[in-house]
DNA sequence: CCTTCGTTTCGTAATTTTACGAAATACGAA
DNA sequence: TTCGTATTTCGTAAAATTACGAAACGAAGG
């Protein structure tokens, strides 16, 4: 039972998931910042980026759901950082994909 | 005039565009095939992939619009291949992005 | 306890994506 | 010219994405 036979490979689905997370310029921008300097707070981003804070929050949520980014509670702020493990996985998947 | 001041960089927008093209497993799958073996026909893909031909055609159109794939008319078929130039650009963008 | 700060969730609306089958198109062959 | 093959476009519908402001939330400070 339960033998649905998935057509796409695990790698293909993972890559599509990461690609989806990066399919909006603001999310690429956020990852650029996090990968270059370090972690940062939602409020810091909100001051730079030309979108509403609530919209930014949604994008951060998507990045968290994809696994590329994680948020550490640091009251009263929340510090966002790359999830190094998943970042490395995505890097590897794209590298393999393109070669 | 026309000085709208774009917030995101050209690279960020390009990467987001390529990422969007790869944000669905079937499109990753198609690119996998094209990058591994060679070119192929829509009909060949249609026999493998578990979606309607018209839906497949839409996905191919998106890949064409992104620039990653190109189609050569070869009556009565259409042969799809990677666009090597844009493929290399995407590869480079992702490489830079992840490092 | 009440307020403030930083952030997210809710409610909503417009747009885009994904999917299908039917119809249209393009072209070579009969 | 009519037929058959290969593929795309059209029409449509359901679901997801993107965006905003208002409201809610949790923790620290007065």
Contact B16/A25, CB-based, under 8 Å?
A: yes
CA distances from A87 to A6, A83, B32 (A): 25, 6, 21
Q: Which nucleotide is nearest to A52 (CA to C1')?
A: D20
pLDDT, position B5:
60
Cα separation, A20 vs A78, whole angstroms: 24
Q: Which residues of chain B have pLDDT under 70?
A: 1-5, 74-76
Coil, helix or strand for B16? helix
Instruction: Please tell me the predicted confidence (pLDDT) of residue A75.
Output: 65
Q: Summarize pLDDT for A13-38 with one digit per residue, the tens.
A: 999 999 999 999 999 999 999 998 77
Distance CA A29 to C1' D10 in A = 37
Distance B90 CA to C23 C1' (A): 37
Residues A81-95 have pLDDT tens digits of 999 999 999 999 999
What gap in Å lies between CA B76 and CA A22, rounded to an integer?
Answer: 37
Q: How far apart are CA A44 and CA A77, in angstroms?
A: 10
Average pLDDT over residues A65-86: 88
- A54 CB and strand D closer than 7 A: yes
- Domains parsed from chain B with CATH numbers: 10-98 (1.10.10.10)
Residue B49: what pLDDT?
A: 92
Mean of the per-residue pLDDT values of chain A: 91
Check residue B71 and give its pLDDT: 86
pLDDT at A68: 97
């Amino acid at each position: 039972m339960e033998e649905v036979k998935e057509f796409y490979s695990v790698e293909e689905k993972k890559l599509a998931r990461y690609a989806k997370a990066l399919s909006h310029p603001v999310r690429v921008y956020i990852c650029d910042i996090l990968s270059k300097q370090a972690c940062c707070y939602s409020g810091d981003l909100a001051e730079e980026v030309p979108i509403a804070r609530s919209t930014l929050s949604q994008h951060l949520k998507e990045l968290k759901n994809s696994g590329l980014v994680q948020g550490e509670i640091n009251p009263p702020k929340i510090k966002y950082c790359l999830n190094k493990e998943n970042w490395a996985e995505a890097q590897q998947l794209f590298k393999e994909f393109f070669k």
